[in-house]
A and B are shown apart, each in its own frame.
Chain A
Amino acid sequence: MNEFLTLMKSELVVTAIIFLLLFIKIGKGMKNDSLLSLVQVLLLVNFIAGFFLNSTGNLFGDMFYTNPLIAFQKNILSLGVYLISLLCADWLKKTQHLAEFFMLMLSALLGMFLMISSNNLLIFYLALELATIPVAAMANFDLDKKRSSEGAMKMILSSAFSSGILLFGISLLYGTTGTISFPEIAAQLDGSSVQILAFVFLFTAFAFKLSIVPFHLWTADVYEGSPIAVTSFLSVISKGSVAFIFITVLYKVFQPMQDVWYTMLVILAVATMVIGNLFALRQQNIKRFLAFSSIAQVGFILVGISSNDYMGITAVVYFVLIYVFSNLAAFGVASVISEHSGKENIDEYKGLYKTNPFLSWILALALFSLAGIPPTAGFFGKLFLLTAGGAKAAYWFITVAALNMIISLYYYLRVVRAIFMDKNDNPVGKIKISPSVKLALLICGAGIVLIGLLSWVYDHIHTLSFKL
């Protein structure tokens, strides 16, 4: 019993919060303002609780597995959810169904926790569904906007499709190995053609979730249609969690087939970076812009994953941590501006610096971090991904990735240029930023500047992953 409590504590805390919200909802209910403050406090508690009592072990007959690294990954996700609750406070206060929104979001988070911890194809599949379906409902939360429903519809259809493919892959895998437990599958793999086919199906499902090219087409529409709170959840938390389990599946389950997936990974990484970047060049809407930029970022994550050793794990976890700060800062600024002025186009950001210097600097910092320019943390994150990917001495691969950094710099600079240099007769008016948003933006800004320079963060992740 005691072991159950410690090993599953992250899941239990999140479940407790969900039930608390449920009781509040069916009880007397609360005003949005106070409910939001309560949720923010609870999420902060959830984040802080993640630091304690982390141990290694498995439960339910080896279906559930956790260790300090996995706990750390969960904590990154908790941090992201906490930041989203702060950043999108202005929008959240106005929604009619705040309690439901957080119940859905936390259910998805619970799903992600279970997914990262899964050690078995069955629980993996269930957790993945739990992590996906609530998000589709959340995407529809701008109830009066048609685009929001459209986005949700696209999301649920593409998720259902990818789940179908995943299930097919799982059944093939079970058929050839006779087991659904991760370690036992790894022992049974012999690289037969059916297994390769099964792997391709599994890979495709992951590619859908991570929006790897050519399975990225749903991303931009869903991102654009959803409320920014959901978009940022999708692009940061959702992607991060899938990237974590993707590593586990590749490194742990499909280790015997590493030659097969290395080639696939390299080709798809190049395609994802190039196509994500090229599409981002011409986007006008900031959400679509960030959608394609996040596709390109996933390409870089794949470069890191291709290393197939603890360096890759460290680099990816570290990158996702930095990505949480950078991308949430960018989305946070976009959310504030959209909420106060309704403007979501990059052209409408022209002259932002004159009226809102604080927001401009945070957005610029976030974009430079995404582009990988020092002194921001993004520089370190990207460089370590490339270092991990370069371990196999695939110089052309690293060169392509490095050249992609130039393309991405071009479009990030486009936004920076609009903010700082271009003139505009009708700029975004002066925005009064509420304290919680300001706090979150400051946390993000501090994270972007400090995470890179505080080298013990990286070394800590390294120690955690090296122990595996």
Chain B
Amino acid sequence: MNLLLLIGAPLLTAVAVLLSRNKAQVKWISLVGSVAQLALAFALLYAFRQERAQNNMSQMLFELNYKLFDSLNINFHFGVDGISVAMILLTSFVVIAGVLVSWNIEKMTKEFYFLLILLALGAYGFFISLDLFILFFFLEISVIPKYLLIGIWGSGKKEYSANKLALMLMGGSALILVGMLGLYFTAGHSFDIMTLSKTSIPANIQNLLFPLLFVGFGVFTALFPLHTWVPDGHSSAPTAGSMFLAGISMKLGGYGCLRIATYLLPEGAKEYANIIIILSAIAILYGAFATMMQKDLKYINAYSSVSHVGFSLLGIGMLTQTAITGALMQMVSHGLMTALFFAVIGMIYDRTHTRMTNEMGGLMKVMPFITTVFFIVGLCSLGLPGLSGFVAEMTVFMGSWENSDAFHRIATIAAAMSIVVTAVYILRAIGQTAMGPITNTSHLQLKDAAWNEKLAAIILVAGIIAIGIAPGWLNDLLRPAAEEIMNRIAGK
């Protein structure tokens, strides 16, 4: 399968959106485009499994290599392993759901969809890039769409949030940039990830570059204490914006932490692993407790995202194969879950015009579909078996437990304790909004989900359940790729 299709599809969609004449055209073009992306993602999954079934065990499949800046040895080098395939699948799920829930956007529809698709384009490009420079290019492409999406279509203190997000992410990028240039010159003028993974980089340089790259990507994925853009950014963004931010953009960071920082600089990773573990354990607990104090549904999900994303960073810090597989599963699971969460919150807000849990109540009676989905995603978040959250977190804990010393054990136990807190805030939020008597009589007239909202929710729920009931296929994708990373860490 030609990987350029994955960039071509969103690019074509974006151009078509620009050329379209009216709102209906814009929406349908975007929907068709995102369906095409979903189809491509599934085709990629199928083709990937076929190749693996035929015992094609090369690390990267479907590689493409075109010269770009020849004199600087920068190339369009693309290729996918299991991790990329899983992330691309996640992206396509979130994109189609995001397009569907934004169906009724009235303000500057064309610009909205154009920016949304540009954001998706950046994510696809990022996940298939095997050249650091190109990867960085795709990472940065999303800055403009994110900023404008929040600033123009957002709510609350949107300008502040948009600025904060853009500047903090730019700060992360600046660190990545320095780390990237460091790698480039150490490896004798190459940005190629595959080449870099084969060069031995002196330990002192690894110790210098690893923090730059890990913290740089960490900003994108809410590494404590650089997570502060997350609550503001997510709560101010429009629904689809929050879904993209939490569902896709934060995964870019996690992917970078693993694929670039940890994989390319294993000695650095070993050196700083304990600090990563401490920080992510803090993030997990702090995020959970901070969520307890929130009354705004979007803030609840934003802080709980900090906590949940902490699990994937914890998994990376544990440096065992199972833990890293779990970390990746958590990325996919959290992407689907949090996108669904924001979608549901958006649906509720569109109807009740409030996000405060204490101003709602008994919504189950008026909108059974939306609240049912809310239940499902809540239960996924607190780790109910049968849904994706359980599988991912369990794998992280199992992997963490493989480290038998006291430090790792304590960190694991501390992180596991957060599940109790999660249960408290999730059940309380659901209880206050969905159960009980209807406190606000104007809520009696509210309608349940429309077709587009139902479709979006069903797609994401299907993803969550597919991982929760049959995690084997995801495991098959991720485990061999995690093994490659572990091999490099073990120095094989």
CA distance A42 to B151 in the complex (A): 45
A2 within 8 A of B: no
CB pair A379–B137 under 8 Å, yes or no, is yes
A81-89, A102-110, A390-398 - interface stretch: A390-398
CB pair A421–B208 under 8 Å, yes or no, is no
Q: Which residues of B contact A300 (CB under 8 A)?
A: none
CA distance A413 to B184 in the complex (A): 30
CB pair B159–A462 under 8 Å, yes or no, is no
A420-B152, A421-B159, A455-B68 are contacts. A409–B170 as well, Cβ < 8 Å?
Answer: yes
Distance between A358 CB and nearest chain B CB, rounded to angstroms: 13
B473 within 8 A of A: no
Contact of B181 among A386, A406, A463, A466 (CB under 8 A): A386
Distance between B15 CB and nearest chain A CB, rounded to angstroms: 12
Instruction: Point out which of B69, B70, B137, B182 has the most chain A C-beta atoms below 10 A from its C-beta.
Output: B69
CA distance A110 to B330 in the complex (A): 64
Distance between B109 CB and nearest chain A CB, rounded to angstroms: 14
A184 within 8 A of B: no
Q: Which residues of B contact A383 (CB under 8 A)?
A: 133, 177
Q: Which residues of B contact A422 (CB under 8 A)?
A: 159
Q: Which residues of B contact A398 (CB under 8 A)?
A: 177-178, 181
A46-54, A258-266, A339-347, A368-376 - interface stretch: A368-376
CB pair B167–A410 under 8 Å, yes or no, is yes
CA distance A422 to B170 in the complex (A): 22
Chain A minimum-CB-distance residue to B168: A406
CA distance A455 to B68 in the complex (A): 6
Q: Which residues of B contact A409 (CB under 8 A)?
A: 166-167, 170
B71 within 8 A of A: yes
B19 within 8 A of A: no
CB pair B177–A386 under 8 Å, yes or no, is yes
B72 within 8 A of A: yes
Contact of B69 among A373, A410, A455 (CB under 8 A): A455
B143 within 8 A of A: yes
A410-B167, A458-B69, A459-B70 are contacts. A420–B181 as well, Cβ < 8 Å?
Answer: no
Interface size for chain A: under 10, 10 to 19, 20 to 34, or 35 or more residues? Answer: 20 to 34
Instruction: Point out which of A395, A398, A462 has the most chain B C-beta atoms below 10 A from its C-beta.
Output: A395
List A residues 376-425 near B (Cβ within 8 Å). 379, 383-384, 386-387, 390-391, 393, 395, 398-399, 402-403, 405-406, 409-410, 413, 416-417, 420-422
A314 within 8 A of B: yes
B431 within 8 A of A: no
CB pair B177–A375 under 8 Å, yes or no, is no
Type the 1/0 row for B113-157, where 1 means its CB is closer than 8 Å to any CB of A.
000000000000000000001000100110110011001100000
Type the 1/0 row for B160-189, where 1 means its CB is closer than 8 Å to any CB of A.
001100110011001101100110110000
Distance between B176 CB and nearest chain A CB, rounded to angstroms: 9
A379-B140, A413-B147 are contacts. A390–B69 as well, Cβ < 8 Å?
Answer: no
Please name 9 further chain A to chain B contacts, defined as beta carbons within 8 Å, in addition to the given A386-B177, A395-B178, sorted by A numbering: A379-B140, A383-B133, A402-B174, A402-B175, A405-B174, A413-B167, A416-B148, A417-B162, A455-B70
**Which 3 pairs, one residue from A and one from B, show the smallest C-beta to C-beta distance?**
A402-B174, A462-B71, A390-B181
- B-binding residues in A (CB < 8 A): 314, 368, 373-375, 379, 383-384, 386-387, 390-391, 393, 395, 398-399, 402-403, 405-406, 409-410, 413, 416-417, 420-422, 455, 458-459, 462-463, 466
17 contacts between A and B (CB under 8 A): A314-B71, A373-B140, A379-B137, A379-B140, A386-B177, A387-B72, A390-B178, A390-B184, A390-B185, A402-B174, A406-B170, A410-B163, A413-B163, A413-B167, A417-B162, A420-B152, A455-B69
